[in-house]
Homo-oligomer: A and B are copies of this chain.
Amino acid sequence: MSIKFADRMKNLQASEIRELLKLTERPEVISFAGGLPAPELFPIEEMKVVSLKVLEDMGKEALQYSATEGYRPLREHIVKREKIFGIETNADDILITSGSQQGLDFCGKVFLNPDDVVVVESPSYLGAINAFKAYQCKFVEVPTDKDGMLMDELDRVLAETENVKFIYVIPDFQNPTGKTWSVERRIEFMRLADKYDVPVVEDNPYGELRFEGEIPMSLKYYDKDERVIFLGTFSKTFTPGLRIGWVNAKKEILEKFIFIKQGSDLQTNSMTQRELSVFLDMYDFDAHIEKIKNVYRSRRDIMLKTMEDTFPEGVTWTYPEGGLFTWVEFPEHVNTRDLMAEAIKKNVACVPGGSFYPNGGHENAIRVNYSNMPEDKIVDGIKRLSEVIKEAL
């Protein structure tokens, strides 16, 4: 049979991270490649309690079709949690999605015609890049420093670029760099978004996992014109396997997302939404997050300390105040795709940084995850990595 796929399929290939994750499934591999939470922190015993309670108290509703928008008590919980980021919203402005990856896909589907432009941080989240690419958009990358996107550059890009449909950013513990935007940068960013009248997609999967200092107000907090579409998820604070995320946007925008959700998969799992909602009713979620933060903080500390002790001169890395990742940069001549091929031979894995630049280039960095491996393996893995790096330099 001769098959003619849609033109969009030409742009797509399997995510490098997920292909790499397959290689790293061998138990002898110390993997810093994925963005996987620590499974030993999953609330398994509590899940037993809430699963039984949901089936007992509302089994029929939990197994039946339900509203596309999502389970209202869960949406009300989300409204309360968003206050952490300074957001005042209501349950009508929340749509439950299958992880925030689905929120990203819907942003593409709702906004993008072929050749439309998405403005992103350089580098940016690979999963978002791939989701948007399916709608055949172009990317304009804006450079960043330690305080976030460079505002002069953003101003120039927005002044010069036609058909910008939205700006996609991760201001808190960015994926892949681990950087957090300063308050000044956030205020200036929203001023520019207003000036050029552009929608903003604010992706915040890690913001609650802050190890030190105060949680800064979100972009949506500084949003006077309801132009921010806020994406949240329980993947990093609860569990990723249950696939619960959300989109928070004003009615005029959210109703488009709801139409798209209907055609895409009708609704998110009725039972899982209820389990999570009952979990939030019954247990102290802040205490649960505190537990996660304590473990990840220690893992970050031991990772950065081991890098300090073993990495050769000329290699630098970010200091993430929370989240899951640090970003390691090498001299320009180092190609980390080759470096990672060597690392895998020594049974240690990270993601080559080039994957995070939608327009290519920048092969001299890697993303390193510290949430998934226990401390002894972090020490061991970083030491192995340092050997590979020393050979490459």
Contacts and interface: CB of A to CB of B under 8 A. Distances in A.
Interface stretch (A170-178, A238-246, A287-295): A238-246
Given A263-B131, A268-B243, A39 B63 contact: yes
Interface stretch (A109-117, A179-187, A358-366): A109-117
A15 interface: yes
A241 B199 contact: no
Interface in A79-137: 97-99, 101-102, 105, 109-113, 116, 127, 130-131, 133-135
Given A52-B48, A265-B105, A270 B242 contact: yes
Taking residues whose C-beta sits less than 8 angstroms from the other chain, chain A's interface range is: 35 or more
A59 interface: yes
A210 interface: no
Given A18-B68, A101-B265, A269-B272, 16 more contacts: A6-B113, A8-B109, A12-B260, A15-B262, A15-B263, A37-B64, A39-B60, A47-B63, A51-B51, A63-B240, A65-B241, A98-B269, A99-B265, A243-B267, A269-B269, A272-B272
A76 B240 CA distance: 24
B63 A3 contact: no
Given A44-B55, A60-B39, A243 B269 contact: yes
Give the one of A7, A48, A52, A269 with max B CB within 10 A: A269
Contacts of A135: 6
A280 interface: no
Contacts of A6: 109-113, 116, 135, 165
A390 interface: no
A42 interface: yes
A266 interface: yes
A252 B265 CA distance: 24
11 contacts: A5-B110, A6-B165, A36-B64, A39-B64, A44-B60, A47-B63, A48-B52, A63-B240, A64-B239, A134-B263, A242-B271
A42 B65 contact: no
Q: Which 9 A-B pairs have the closest CB atoms?
A: A241-B270, A44-B59, A63-B239, A39-B60, A98-B265, A51-B51, A102-B265, A42-B63, A63-B241
